[in-house]
Amino acid sequence: MAFYFSEPSHTFGEYLLVPGYSSAECIPDNVSLRTPLVKYNKKAGEVSPISMNIPMVSAVMQAVSDDKMAIALAKEGGISFIYGSQSIEDQAAMIARVKAYKAGFVTSDSNVRPDQTLEEVIALSEKTGHSTCAVTEDGSAHGKLVGIITSKDFRISHCKPGAKVSEYMTPLADMVTGQEGITLSEANEIIWDKKVNQLPVVDKNGNLVSLIFRKDYATHETHPLELLDSQHRYIVGAGINTRDYMERVPALLEAGADVFVLDSSEGYSYWQEKALKDIHEKFGKDVKVGAGNVVDADGFNFLAEAGADFIKIGIGGGSICITREQKGIGRGQATATIEVAKARDEYYKKTGIYIPICSDGGIVHDYHITLALAMGSDFVMLGRYFARFDESPSNKLVVNGNYVKEYWGEGSNRARNWQRYDLGGKKSMAFEEGVDSYVPYAGHLHDGLGMTLRKVTHTMCNCGALSIPELQEKAKLTLVSATTISEGSAHDVVVKNTNIQA
Ligand code: IMP
């Protein structure tokens, strides 16, 4: 006979936190959001081989996680899982770019030749969004440097059509450059001494290596939580699938990937078990692989036994997800998180091994992050949230007078990432499990994330918690009625300012 769960499943919007005692020390500045990413022997006093400084990772999605997002999020202390629905070569190139990125040292993506026209400079600047173009002999990012041209060097309305870059650029002879090997603080000294806005770094043959901008150096100092590996490179993750992992994993390891996740809507399967075992057998246990998604204790225990380094929770709760209406599988995200967290704690008691869990999808308001953590999640994965920022790979458009960004599911016709949904074996006939959509544009990641984390740390203090484990221990959660939910936002008034970010 079929098994029935006795209680209906619930989602985050149906819960609230009840405050606990806040002591004088319980202030947001004292809160640590550090959290483990992969499993470790907690009982033996070990620490996780990879931890994050904030409990947020960006989703394995074309519209969310590319190298630009990965760098931006690692600067803030989290990790991006670069999408796997692209060729192995392209994904490896993205990983390699993250690992090669040196904070403050920018590989110029706006380069022109001296014989190009000012119209071409303008077109390039519009495309890249950068007003400074390096002028190199062959127009490449690492060609011989001959000058710099910025939008301040000319007024197009005053120039004759077809005017050449060489006539308006600052030539090399009038520029200050740094030699390859220069440190960021040395470069900064030069930038201030010589009153320049950027310093091109060249090798001994005069070829352009990178650019250092005055503002980037300042940015570097404002990221105290940045997540670096032992060689001071940004930490980055990669999504993989259960089909081509024997080729994809070594290529991504070679490119420098720090951690993988099997990206699938359904993790309780022979295919994930096989992939986890094959990867760990062939490439070693040091290769860290998360798995999922699951929504109950059975799914968790299965993946734990199969060797998953962390386990993701969630089916059908994603903002762009139509899995529930297409297939009728899934579970309320809060209930799934609570049950999996309980299974994780029992597994730890039994084995001494702590397997971090991640609530994936369905975060609508910032406080849902705090709820997920309080319910036992070690970190959360978000798609819609990150897609809204400048740093996501998708297009920014104006729709009905508002700025929006595009955001589409991996299971939408647009992404065509059918591998995420099939059940292994012969390629199955796929159908859509996601939609293509717009989300409101939200500016720079640094600003939006800062606000979100302030809300998380404030709520933690209200619960008397200075760390995520403390929150998980002390949190008092209450299910609320539909009437209580509507009482929770402004009611019985005519709201003047609707510009409050949730
Ligand atoms: P969001 O943060 O609510 O937008 O949810 C993001 C999550 O939705 C991802 O991390 C995936 O687990 C899941 N997801 C991504 N694409 C699809 C899709 O096309 N259909 C169903 N779920 C998806």
Profile the chain (502 residues) by mean pLDDT over runs of 10 residues. 93 97 96 98 98 98 98 97 97 95 79 93 82 92 93 84 92 93 86 90 93 71 87 94 96 98 95 97 97 98 98 96 93 98 98 98 98 98 98 94 96 84 66 94 96 98 98 97 89 78 56
Residue 383, ligand 1, Cβ within 6 A: yes
Extract the annotated binding site for K(+): 316, 318, 321
Sequence-ordered alpha helix ranges (H) in 169-269: 184-193, 214-221, 245-255
Q: How far apart are CA 354 and CA 357, in angstroms?
A: 9
Give the pLDDT confidence score for residue 498 in this predicted structure: 63
330 burial type by CB count under 10 A (0-12 exposed, 13-18 middle, 19+ buried): buried
Å from CA of 304 to ligand 1 middle: 23
The size of the chain, in residues, is 502
Which atom from ligand 1 is nearest to the alpha carbon of 386? Answer: 2
Which H helix or E strand runs over 211? strand 208-213
Å from CA of 338 to ligand 1 middle: 20
Q: How far is CA 381 from CA 62, 68, 299, 362, 373, in A?
A: 15, 17, 18, 9, 12
Active site residues: 321, 420
Residue 410, ligand 1, Cβ within 6 A: yes
Which atom from ligand 1 is nearest to the alpha carbon of 59? Answer: 10
Residue 361, ligand 1, Cβ within 6 A: yes
Residue 387, ligand 1, Cβ within 6 A: no
Q: How far apart are CA 413 and CA 427, in angstroms?
A: 16
Q: Which 3-state string (H, E, C) describes 279-336?
A: HHHHHCCCCCEEEEEECCHHHHHHHHHHCCCEEEECCCCCCCECHHHHHCCCCCHHHH
Residue 337, ligand 1, Cβ within 6 A: no
The residues, ordered by sequence, that sit 6+ positions from 49 with a Cβ below 8 Å of its Cβ are: 38, 40, 286, 288
Q: Which structural domains are found in the chain, ordered by start? A: 12-101+226-485 (3.20.20.70), 118-214 (3.10.580.10)
Give the pLDDT confidence score for residue 495 in this predicted structure: 86
CA angle 222, 223, 227 (to 5 degrees): 170
Residue 178, ligand 1, Cβ within 6 A: no
* Residue whose C-alpha is closest to residue 335's, from 356, 352, 315: 315
Q: What's the pTM?
A: 0.84
Å from CA of 309 to ligand 1 middle: 21
Å from CA of 440 to ligand 1 middle: 17
**Tokens standing for residue 386:** 């990150």
Give the pLDDT confidence score for residue 305 in this predicted structure: 98
Which atom from ligand 1 is nearest to the alpha carbon of 384? Answer: 4
Three-state DSSP state, 112: strand
Give the pLDDT confidence score for residue 46 in this predicted structure: 97
Å from CA of 409 to ligand 1 middle: 6
Residue 434, ligand 1, Cβ within 6 A: yes
Give the pLDDT confidence score for residue 92 in this predicted structure: 98
Question: Which residue minimizes the CA distance to atom 21 of ligand 1?
Answer: 321
Extract the annotated binding site: 263-265, 314-316, 318, 321
Residue 433, ligand 1, Cβ within 6 A: yes
Å from CA of 383 to ligand 1 middle: 6
Question: Which residue minimizes the CA distance to atom 23 of ligand 1?
Answer: 321
Which atom from ligand 1 is nearest to the alpha carbon of 407? Answer: 4
